[in-house]
Amino acid sequence: MAGNECEAVFVGRTVQEAVANGAARLGVRVDEANVEILEEGVRGWLGFRAREARVRVGRLTKGAAAERLLRRLAELMGSTVDVKIEGPSGERPGWLVSVASDDPAQWIGRRGQTLDALRVWCDAAATRMAASRERLAVDVAGYRERRESALRFAAKRAGDQVRRSGREVELEAMGAADRRVVHMTLQNVEGIRTESVGEEPFRRVVIRPVV
């Protein structure tokens, strides 16, 4: 149960009752709780020598909640997956959930559009389950990592072009996650600024010189 929030010990006549008591107290569904059985209940005979069940119930971390959600989704899709979670670190402020699938294209979609929608849904659902607003990233078959690397390279090249020519450069339309990578890559580069323009799904980043 390490790393779970708001964990406590609850009792009941049975394990199921004790878990239900804990989930109700935490405000989560039973299937959204992380459970550790400490002691099985003993019914006894005519009420004698009965012993209550004891369980430790806690909220899932946001990463564990996301892992559970994605495994459920894979079952519904009939897809075989391996899910790995990495917690916050000095280099990454939030959770990273990496999915290896027998059909990665099904999860990624055209230009990562399915993956972007998956991350938004998973983030919202895991936030509710874990009662945590920590940042959550979802990657499938390393696509997001490769995509971000390519975006950073393209953003730096476009930024250099704007600084040399003094003319703005408009990048191709991209999703919110991709635009954020571009903005973050160029946010501290002198002589240029970035701005998102247009309406979804044609919203794009424009890199402009600072006059």
Q: Is the pLDDT of residue 7 over 80?
A: no
- C-alpha–C-alpha distance, residues 136 and 55, integer Å: 29
- Residue 129 sits in the same domain as residue 66: yes
From the number of C-beta atoms within 10 Å of its C-beta (0-12, 13-18, 19+), residue 99 rates as buried
- C-alpha–C-alpha distance, residues 85 and 206, integer Å: 34
- Residue 71 sits in the same domain as residue 126: yes
Cα 201 to chain centroid distance, Å, stands at 22
pLDDT in tens, 69-110: 999 999 999 888 999 999 887 766 789 999 999 899 999 998
What pLDDT is recorded for position 209?
95
The total number of structural domains that make up the chain: 3
Q: Which helix (H) or strand (E) holds 74?
A: helix 62-77
Residues 128 and 122 sit within 8 Å (Cβ to Cβ):
no
Q: What mean pLDDT do residues 194-209 have?
A: 94
The 10 Å Cβ neighbour count of residue 167 is 10
Q: Is the pLDDT of residue 3 over 60?
A: no
Q: Is the peptide bond before 201 cis (omega within 30 degrees of 0)?
A: yes
Residues 53 and 13 sit within 8 Å (Cβ to Cβ):
yes
Of the residues 87, 110, 141, the one at which a domain ends: 141
- C-alpha–C-alpha distance, residues 77 and 84, integer Å: 19
What pLDDT is recorded for position 160?
96
Domain range for 52 is: 5-59
Q: Is the pLDDT of residue 142 over 70?
A: yes
- Residue 23 sits in the same domain as residue 66: no
